[in-house]
Amino acid sequence: MKKLALVLAVLMLFVLTFSFAAMAMEKKGNVIVLKAADDHKDGYSTVEGLKLMSRLVDEWTSGRIKIEVYPGAVLGSEKETIEQTQMGVIDINRVSISPVVSVYPKMAVLALPYIFASREHMWKVLDGKIGQNMLSEIEKVGFLGLAYMDSGARSFYTVKKPILSPADLKGLKIRTQKSPVMMDMVSAMGGKPVPMAFEEVYSALQTGVIDGAENNPPSYYETSHYEVAKYYSLDQHAMVPEIVLMSTKTWNKLSDADKNIIKMAAIAAEELQKKLWLKDENIAMAKVKAAGCKIYNPEKKPFMDAVQPVYKKYASKYMDLIKEIQSMIK
């Protein structure tokens, strides 16, 4: 009996693996159809980037490769879509680097609090050897990176009182992305991290399940979190880049010429998104101010001091990398 169960389980695993592999890179006649996921809504800069990528690939392959863009987390929440990209169920996926850390721990260095001194510093690292090597190194875990996108800086927003220093976070339940490094950061500052899917945050803020969350201005605005958490403290604790992932299962089935086209289109998407980002940040800040949100600019030093334990934790493995990133500030 036990043997039969084992045989059945192995058979099931085989069928599942086979069908997932078959799912990667769907073909409709001679046309290759790729699914691209994003947890932001239509109109958000990252989605606009993916849509440009789709148009360019269509044009450059004369309609031989189509990229269907699915915004609004319709293919699943960020963590789920990362897993589905590893399995090849989703071909292309634009995500924040924070949750990628769970499957590729080295990426934590790019999500560390205050690791980047400015947007220029961040892009110098991403466009340089460190960032570019990581795009291909992550292939080990089932996807490669095609391009990065901008996500500005993340800051805290809360329902009942503003966060003016780490002491104000004491005892507060703060939603984090499903990411060890973001949870470590909130704990180090004295808050209680509550990992939760992006789509669940609005109602969690509304019902008091959490006291606050943290994100960049365009996300704070797009999700309407500003309606329920009106105190926005620009401590700018993390500039976490975003990444466009491509399943290796799909990638390996493409010709070199098609790989090149997809890579070039992703780079064009990155360029567009970076431009849109700057505009969207200003629009979001203006909108939330007009809606009556209270904006604060707390002194950053106490927040920087508070996150030192996070550096200690990651330094044991990635000290050289951290030092190299820090040496690129100027």
Sites of contact with ligand GTR (CB under 6 A): 39, 78, 95-96, 151, 177, 198, 215-216, 219, 242
Write down the least CB distance from residue 14 to ligand GTR, Å: 34
Write out the E strands in 124-250: 143-149, 154-158, 173-176, 192-195, 212-215, 231-238, 242-247
Nearest residue (CB) to ligand GTR, 215 versus 233: 215
CB-based contacts of 188, cutoff 8 Å, min separation 6 = 306, 307, 308, 309, 310
> What residue has token string 């044991």?
316
Nearest residue (CB) to ligand GTR, 84 versus 219: 219
C-alpha span between 182 and 167 (Å, rounded): 18
CB-based contacts of 224, cutoff 8 Å, min separation 6 = 202
Write down the least CB distance from residue 324 to ligand GTR, Å: 25
Nearest residue (CB) to ligand GTR, 54 versus 151: 151
Write down the least CB distance from residue 213 to ligand GTR, Å: 7
C-alpha span between 264 and 147 (Å, rounded): 9
Write down the least CB distance from residue 197 to ligand GTR, Å: 7
Q: What is the DSSP letter of 167?
A: G
Write down the least CB distance from residue 258 to ligand GTR, Å: 27
C-alpha span between 69 and 36 (Å, rounded): 5
Report DSSP letters for 113-126, one per residue.
Answer: TT--SSHHHHHHHH
Contact 79, 307 (CB under 8 A): no
Contact 68, 50 (CB under 8 A): no
Q: What is the DSSP letter of 281?
A: H
Beta bridge partners of 38: 94
C-alpha span between 329 and 110 (Å, rounded): 14
Nearest residue (CB) to ligand GTR, 65 versus 233: 233
Write down the least CB distance from residue 146 to ligand GTR, Å: 16
The tokens for 242 are 């975003």
Write down the least CB distance from residue 116 to ligand GTR, Å: 15
Nearest residue (CB) to ligand GTR, 78 versus 80: 78
Nearest residue (CB) to ligand GTR, 79 versus 230: 79
By three-state DSSP, how is residue 155 classified?
strand
Write down the least CB distance from residue 198 to ligand GTR, Å: 3
